[in-house]
């Protein structure tokens, strides 16, 4: 396994960022975008943007691209209490602001003090591995995570990566080789997965609509489920089918979020 983990293919998929002990973090003002400095030590630049009534997200610029990462810090965040962190990946052609609405109003994250990080792919079309191999998107996600870890107290046992459609395929493909970082993986209507290896034993939640015409369930989730269970023989894999098309129903997103933040098992595990 050690030689496999050091192969070029695996190394390009590995994330180096790790949560920091609370004692090493700067004091932060809960829910206040202004608590982040305009420019960080690693060249990050932040600005705030309204994404829904009375709620803000942080736009993080890491290069000259106009595609950023967005961070929602709930007003209930407490630096002395490590918070869950969920990374949510958009589908093909998606972007941060519309992806922030995947779980409904951002206030759904407040009760659990959950941070929501929404990075955007470097290409406006989709994530790098979907059309080729891992590359700049992995670096961008790693930088985004590092930004959060340097400023916020994150609970390593509740650190998840999620996605819809192409984002779901990417969440599985990137989450599995980084299962020693991500405790949970959520895939809403994935098309496929291509992890170069599996690290750790992340818990996995997959949902798919039986009437999906974009990524048909027979060719996608039903096909990859046996392979996933084989990759995680001792792992926790929840699979939910719903009566609908290529969407993330409110009930499904809420169920997945409760499973991630509170450990509540889905109603229809398989």
CA 227 – CA 136 distance, rounded (Å): 27
What pLDDT is recorded for position 10?
A: 67
pTM: 0.86
CATH architecture type of domain 2-39+46-262: 3-Layer(aba) Sandwich (3.40)
What pLDDT is recorded for position 23?
A: 79
Q: Which structure tokens are listed for 258?
A: 């409760």
**pLDDT < 50: residue spans in the chain:** 1-4, 29-44, 46-56, 269-270
With CA atoms as reference, report the closest residue to 240 among 258, 217, 260, 262.
217
Strand residue runs (E) in 42-95 = 45-52, 55-61, 69-72, 83-89
What pLDDT is recorded for position 97?
A: 81
Q: Are 203 and 183 in contact (CB under 8 A)?
A: yes
What pLDDT is recorded for position 126?
A: 93
CA 74 – CA 219 distance, rounded (Å): 38
What pLDDT is recorded for position 62?
A: 58
3-state helix, strand, coil in the chain (%, to 5): 30, 25, 50
Q: Which residues pair with 77 in a beta bridge?
A: none
What pLDDT is recorded for position 263?
A: 79
* Residue 21: HSE in the Cβ half-sphere, 13 Å Cα cutoff: 2
What pLDDT is recorded for position 58?
A: 57
pLDDT per residue over 69-80, tens digit each? 888 889 899 999
CA 66 – CA 83 distance, rounded (Å): 29
Q: Which structure tokens are listed for 243?
A: 């009566």
Q: Which structure tokens are listed for 164?
A: 């819809």
Q: Which residues contact 149 (CB under 8 A, 6 or more apart)?
A: 17, 18, 19, 20
Q: Are 219 and 225 in contact (CB under 8 A)?
A: no
Q: What is the DSSP string of 232-244?
A: -TTS-EEEEEESS
What pLDDT is recorded for position 48?
A: 46
What pLDDT is recorded for position 59?
A: 59
What pLDDT is recorded for position 11?
A: 67
With CA atoms as reference, report the closest residue to 176 among 40, 6, 10.
10
What pLDDT is recorded for position 65?
A: 62
Q: How far apart are the first and last CA of the chain?
A: 29
* Proportion of the chain above pLDDT 70, given as a percent: 79
What pLDDT is recorded for position 35?
A: 29
CA 178 – CA 253 distance, rounded (Å): 23
Rounded to whole angstroms, what are the CA distances from 10 to 15, 99, 161, 167? 10, 28, 18, 19
Where do the structural domains in the chain lie, given as residue ranges?
Answer: 2-39+46-262
What pLDDT is recorded for position 267?
A: 66
Q: Which H helix or E strand runs over 160?
A: strand 154-164
Residue recorded with tokens 């705030």: 48
């Amino acid at each position: 396994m050690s030689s496999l983990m050091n192969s070029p293919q695996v190394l390009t998929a590995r994330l180096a960022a790790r949560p920091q002990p609370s004692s090493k973090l700067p004091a932060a003002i809960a829910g206040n975008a202004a608590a982040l400095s305009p420019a960080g030590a690693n060249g990050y630049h932040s600005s705030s943007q309204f994404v829904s009534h009375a709620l803000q997200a942080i736009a993080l610029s890491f290069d000259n691209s106009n595609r950023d990462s967005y961070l929602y810090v709930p007003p209930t965040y407490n630096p002395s209490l490590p918070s869950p962190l969920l990374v949510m990946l958009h589908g093909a052609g998606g972007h941060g602001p519309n992806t922030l609405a995947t779980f409904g109003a951002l206030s759904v994250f407040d009760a659990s003090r959950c941070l929501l990080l929404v990075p955007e792919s470097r290409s406006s079309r989709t994530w790098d591995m979907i059309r080729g191999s891992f590359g700049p998107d992995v670096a961008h996600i790693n930088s985004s995570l590092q930004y959060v870890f340097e400023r916020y107290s994150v609970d390593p046992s509740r650190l998840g990566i999620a996605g819809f459609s192409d984002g779901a395929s990417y969440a599985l493909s990137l989450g599995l080789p980084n299962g020693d970082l991500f405790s949970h993986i959520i895939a809403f209507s994935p098309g496929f997965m291509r992890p170069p290896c599996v690290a750790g034993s992340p818990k996995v939640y997959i949902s798919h609509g039986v009437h999906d015409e974009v990524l048909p369930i027979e060719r996608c989730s039903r096909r990859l489920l046996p392979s996933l269970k084989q990759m995680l023989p001792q792992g926790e894999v929840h699979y939910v089918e719903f009566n609908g098309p290529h969407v993330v129903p409110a009930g499904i997103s809420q169920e997945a979020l409760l499973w991630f933040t509170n450990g509540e098992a889905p109603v229809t595990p398989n």
